[in-house]
């Protein structure tokens, strides 16, 4: 914690204003608060657009900031800096330094006595690497343990690990601050940034969760779908109903469409005997494992779904894949099976994460992945 308590003033201003400064050599630029700019009546020399990002985040947000000049009062000389104006620099520093724990700090004239007295005021100015080494003198005092004392033009500042006064364990503080000006509305520039909008949406969801039992609950189609899922003890599989939309079913049973499609498929497969045999083996294997089952012979009791083969010669293992066409329509005016089902969340990224975790262990269980994804079956009334 390198903090300084001193005075600042604008050019040609007779009355200085007390300020608290944070020295941070890790910051590329120096900053002051908008409140200090207004208090000193600073006139911006220009406006800059900054690209800001937080630790561990590659995304940037744009922020327009005024650049102002101000003068800081040192022990022997004044220091003039240029700083970018920002709504808030950081939350008040809560650490209180117990000087009695560190003999090497005894007798030093600290630049900020607040850290020893427990006066946690707001930070008005941050001095970054552009002026940091103009402020520090290079004189350093180290102890056996604890913080290091660094001399500056404002007095001695301390930096490094400390023990909280009147505490035994360390303290970690996390703050989330959203600054805005004017009334909050959907037309606010704050909401025009996609990242900001996602943040606000996440906060809304957080508070919705915190208010469970207070706000009225609305059951979603997804919740109904999960609620109706059950485990079939006889077949050792999970059983679910199709998430039908209200009053939506295909007008035609699709029989004639499927007959036409299967004839086209048969003609295509007969061009290659090995391909025809592989397709037949896939259907027989699915019937054997219970993925598919023979349908009733009468047209009146069934709906029919066409299927076709997708051939991928670039694949080493599965070159042929059987695909059932849920988007097929018997006529232009009809609806497909997919049209009549509610759309759930996209689970493909989650499935990828799940599958890839199998490769993180030395025991080979890849052969069981196929069976794992076939443990869900459709309820009899929806087959």
Q: What is the structure's pLDDT at 320?
A: 82
Please enumerate, as own/partner, the contacts of 224-233 that have beta carbons within 8 Å and a separation of 24 or more. 225/342, 225/344, 232/377
Which secondary structure element, helix H or strand E, spans residue 355, and what is its range? helix 348-357
Predicted confidence at residue 77, as pLDDT, reads 87
Closest CA to 113 of 4, 1, 21: 4
pTM over 0.75, yes/no: no
3-state helix, strand, coil in the chain (%, to 5): 30, 25, 45
Q: What is the rounded average pLDDT for all residues in the chain? A: 75
For CA atoms 67, 70, 74, 77, give the dihedral sign.
positive
Per-residue pLDDT tens over the stretch 26-60: 888 899 999 888 888 888 888 888 777 666 666 66
- What does the pLDDT look like over 259-271, one tens digit per residue? 999 898 888 888 8
Q: Which of 319, 306, 321 is nearest to 263 (CA)?
A: 306
Whether the pLDDT of residue 254 is over 50: the answer is yes
Quick check: 186 pLDDT over 50?
Answer: no
Residue 131 binned pLDDT confidence (cut-offs 50, 70, 90): very high
| Domains observed in the chain | 3-159 (2.40.70.10), 255-382 (no CATH)
């Amino acid at each position: 914690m390198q903090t300084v308590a001193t005075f600042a003033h604008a050019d040609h201003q007779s009355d200085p204003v007390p300020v608290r400064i944070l020295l941070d050599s890790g910051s590329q630029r120096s900053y002051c608060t908008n409140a200090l700019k207004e208090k000193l009546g600073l006139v911006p020399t220009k406006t800059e657009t900054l690209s800001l990002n937080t630790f561990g985040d590659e995304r940037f947000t744009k922020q327009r900031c005024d650049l102002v000049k101000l003068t800081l009062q040192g022990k022997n000389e004044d220091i003039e800096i240029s700083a970018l104006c920002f709504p808030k620099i950081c939350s008040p520093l809560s650490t209180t330094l117990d000087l009695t724990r560190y003999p090497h700090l005894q007798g030093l004239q600290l630049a900020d006595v607040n850290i020893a007295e427990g006066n946690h005021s707001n930070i008005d100015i941050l001095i970054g690497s552009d002026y940091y080494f103009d402020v520090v003198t290079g004189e350093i005092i180290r102890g056996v343990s604890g913080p290091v004392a660094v001399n500056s033009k404002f007095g001695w500042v301390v930096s490094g690990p400390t023990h909280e006064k009147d505490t035994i364990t360390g303290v970690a503080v996390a703050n989330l601050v959203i600054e805005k000006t004017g009334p909050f509305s959907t037309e606010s520039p704050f909401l025009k940034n996609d990242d900001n909008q996602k943040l606000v949406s996440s906060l809304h969801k957080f508070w919705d969760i915190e208010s469970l039992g207070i706000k009225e609950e609305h059951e979603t189609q997804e919740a109904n779908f999960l609620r109706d899922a059950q485990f079939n003890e006889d077949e050792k599989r999970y059983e679910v109903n199709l998430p039908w939309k209200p009053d939506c079913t295909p007008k035609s049973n699709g029989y004639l469409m499927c007959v036409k499609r299967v004839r086209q498929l048969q003609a295509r497969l007969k061009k290659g005997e090995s391909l025809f045999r592989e397709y037949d083996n896939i259907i027989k294997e699915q019937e054997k494992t219970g993925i598919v089952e023979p349908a009733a012979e009468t047209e009146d009791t069934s709906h029919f779904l066409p299927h076709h083969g997708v051939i991928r010669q670039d694949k080493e293992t599965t070159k042929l894949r059987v695909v059932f066409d849920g988007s097929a329509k018997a006529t232009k005016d009809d609806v497909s099976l997919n049209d009549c089902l509610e759309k759930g969340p996209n689970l493909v990224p989650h499935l990828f994460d799940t599958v890839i975790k199998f490769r993180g262990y030395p025991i080979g269980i890849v052969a069981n992945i196929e069976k794992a994804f076939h443990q869900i079956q459709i309820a009899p009334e929806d087959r």
